[in-house]
Structure 1
Amino acid sequence: MSTARPRRQVVLLRPVPGRTVIHDLWAGAKLIIVGAIGVLLTFYPGWFPIAAVALLVLVSARLARIPRGVLPSVPRWLWFLLALGGLTATFAGSPVLSVGSMEIGFGGLLNFLRITALSIVLLGLGAMISWTTNVAEIAPAVTALGRPLRPLRVPVDDWAVALALSLRAFPMLIDEFSVLYAARRLRPPDVDAHRRGRGKRWAAELIDLLAAAITVALRRADEMGDAITARGGAGQISAVPSKPARRDWVAFAIVAVVCGAALALELTVLPTSSARS
């Protein structure tokens, strides 16, 4: 008798234990690097920039000693959607290969693969920040980065505290909702034979789940408020000194060199190959 393997859940906003060079980077440096890479891929979403960012993510994961167990299981329906999207994109775009009465457009397929690779790289980049950064380091980093906006009366400290509390509460709420969903699955199945009766029962259970979720969220918020008050108030969250170190400038230089080389290849090699074809 074969048993199905349990699916690995998504592990986000929980750093992987360890002290590596990636873990020790300043949280603000990681945010700046992610923002710069996001701008690069927004204006130049080509194969060379995508490959360069993917290389940075893989090397960073290797240096941070990220285990394979943190990667979530990919559901089968997602593979089906990707295959369906690639199949439909194959029949659009040039160059076109004629096979009998059917035309296969490799341009559409390449664009679909490029967009898919771009999405995977961006997800991996965000996951690396989540796996190597403590949530408590985000608020001081945001406060330090937003310091030039203080003369404009921008509430940087309040924004940093709100962001830190949101990131801190998100994993707790996910755990609570998982417990509620597991408790819902333990209830006996619906035996009502009428479709209308089953619909009313599902609506009532949905209302019960929403009410329980709101109650859990309010209870968690009350506990977090008491904990923040006991530790000196919300101002202490963003009051920790935070600034870049020498290793952060080295990381900036490495990312700038890799992304600059990828951008140079994107602007020189691809236009030359397109002109020859």
Structure 2
Amino acid sequence: MSSQAGAQRARGTRQQRRPVVLLRPVPGDSVVHRLWAGTKLLVVAAIGVLLTFYPGWVPIGAVGVLVLVAARLARVPRGALPSVPGWLIFLVFLGGLTATFAGGSPVIDLGSVEVGLGGLLNFLRITTLSIVLLGLGAMVSWTTNVAEIAPAVATLGRPLRPLRIPVDEWAVSLALALRAFPMLIDEFRVLYAARRLRPKEVLTSRRARRRRWLIEVIDLLAAAITVALRRADEMGDAITARGGAGQISAAPSRPKAIDGWAFLLVLVVCGVALALELTVLGTSAVTR
């Protein structure tokens, strides 16, 4: 009996997955944590523009190296990384297998069969690009306090104020959304766990099971809306007690000397990667 219980506990431990931890900074004090939030937003915007127009292997690899170096400097633990479910790995494998049938150069000979790897390489490039962009966004989330986002956005949008663009209102809306997102995720997890603990009736007909599923979905949506409204009311009272929504974006937020050096380093790395992509490495890849 003890061996069976131990096996069940081990199986339950293996099935437990690490959740996605976003919008919650990793504790610590590193050079990446001390960077201004506006600098991180500008870096993400610059890298996004680069990878939009030049999504080659060299820019993707350069950005990936930057993300890994930043994670090393910020001392992000491995526990912050979410577990990859098996069905996602299967979908990636299935997508790569399907893309292989598209063919294209380069072509390899497997006996009497020629296989074009162009589609597979494009699929791998797009998948790697997605992983790098997700890692970039996660790095900003793990090293930036949510309260620093709104003042940084208000400072960056200051040149747009003469055009009567509501920069402060946009910054406040962004800050409230970022604050509410992890809170609502926790509430939804509690609701989902409570629903799973409810006893289920054994239904034999398919129509009865479908009807019960629809009722459970409606109940879950009603509970989620109620929780969201309650949380919004509590957040509104807290904002009013602290002086109103204008105080969210009114905090002093300015870049420092280290922000200029960090942004210059990112520009140099991206510029070198772009030059290599457009000249040496990019030309050789096209020739092959």
TM-score relative to the length of structure 2: 0.93
Aligned equivalent of 1:217, options 221, 225, 228: 228
On the 8 A contact 1:190/1:198 being kept in 2, the answer is no
Aligned equivalent of 1:31, options 32, 41, 44: 41
More moved, 246-255 vs 262-271:
262-271
Looking at structure 1, the residues matched to 112 and 236 of structure 2 have their Cα atoms a distance apart, in angstroms, of 68
Aligned equivalent of 1:164, options 175, 180, 189: 175
The AA in structure 2 aligned to 1:45 is P
Partner of 1:61: 71
Please, which runs of 5 or more residues in structure 1 have no aligned partner? none
The AA in structure 1 aligned to 2:198 is R
SS of the residue corresponding to residue 249 of structure 2 reads coil
SS of the residue corresponding to residue 104 of structure 1 reads strand
Looking at structure 2, the residues matched to 101 and 75 of structure 1 have their Cα atoms a distance apart, in angstroms, of 38
> Percent same amino acid among aligned pairs?
76
Looking at structure 2, the residues matched to 95 and 251 of structure 1 have their Cα atoms a distance apart, in angstroms, of 38
Matched, 1:189 2:208: no
Looking at structure 1, the residues matched to 65 and 92 of structure 2 have their Cα atoms a distance apart, in angstroms, of 23
Partner of 1:15: 25
Looking at structure 2, the residues matched to 275 and 90 of structure 1 have their Cα atoms a distance apart, in angstroms, of 19
Partner of 1:233: 244
Structure 1 residue 119 displacement after superposition: 0.4
On the 8 A contact 1:91/1:103 being kept in 2, the answer is no
Looking at structure 2, the residues matched to 88 and 96 of structure 1 have their Cα atoms a distance apart, in angstroms, of 16
Structure 1 residue 99 displacement after superposition: 3.4
Looking at structure 1, the residues matched to 113 and 126 of structure 2 have their Cα atoms a distance apart, in angstroms, of 25
Looking at structure 2, the residues matched to 56 and 276 of structure 1 have their Cα atoms a distance apart, in angstroms, of 28
On the 8 A contact 2:276/2:282 being kept in 1, the answer is no
Q: 1:150 to 1:187 in 2, by over 3 A?
A: same
Looking at structure 1, the residues matched to 93 and 37 of structure 2 have their Cα atoms a distance apart, in angstroms, of 37
On the 8 A contact 1:147/1:156 being kept in 2, the answer is yes
Structure 1 residue 106 displacement after superposition: 1.0
Q: After the TM superposition, which parts of structure 1 deviate over 6 Å for at least 4 consecutive aligned residues?
A: none
Partner of 2:165: 154
Q: 1:57 to 1:73 in 2, by over 3 A?
A: same
More moved, 101-110 vs 62-71:
101-110
The AA in structure 2 aligned to 1:77 is W
Partner of 1:204: 215
Looking at structure 2, the residues matched to 56 and 226 of structure 1 have their Cα atoms a distance apart, in angstroms, of 41
User: What do you get for the CA RMSD once the two structures are aligned?
Assistant: 1.2
More moved, 54-63 vs 85-94:
85-94
Aligned equivalent of 1:3, options 6, 11, 20: 11
Q: 1:221 to 1:276 in 2, by over 3 A?
A: closer
Partner of 1:120: 131
Looking at structure 1, the residues matched to 140 and 38 of structure 2 have their Cα atoms a distance apart, in angstroms, of 11
Looking at structure 2, the residues matched to 69 and 24 of structure 1 have their Cα atoms a distance apart, in angstroms, of 22
Counting matched residue pairs gives 277
Structure 1 residue 190 displacement after superposition: 3.4
Q: 1:274 to 1:226 in 2, by over 3 A?
A: closer
On the 8 A contact 2:155/2:253 being kept in 1, the answer is yes
Looking at structure 2, the residues matched to 274 and 148 of structure 1 have their Cα atoms a distance apart, in angstroms, of 42
More moved, 76-85 vs 90-99:
90-99
Q: 1:159 to 1:202 in 2, by over 3 A?
A: same
Partner of 2:156: 145
On the 8 A contact 1:27/1:137 being kept in 2, the answer is yes
Structure 1 residue 189 displacement after superposition: 2.7
TM-score relative to the length of structure 1: 0.97
The AA in structure 2 aligned to 1:123 is L
The AA in structure 1 aligned to 2:67 is V
Looking at structure 1, the residues matched to 56 and 285 of structure 2 have their Cα atoms a distance apart, in angstroms, of 13
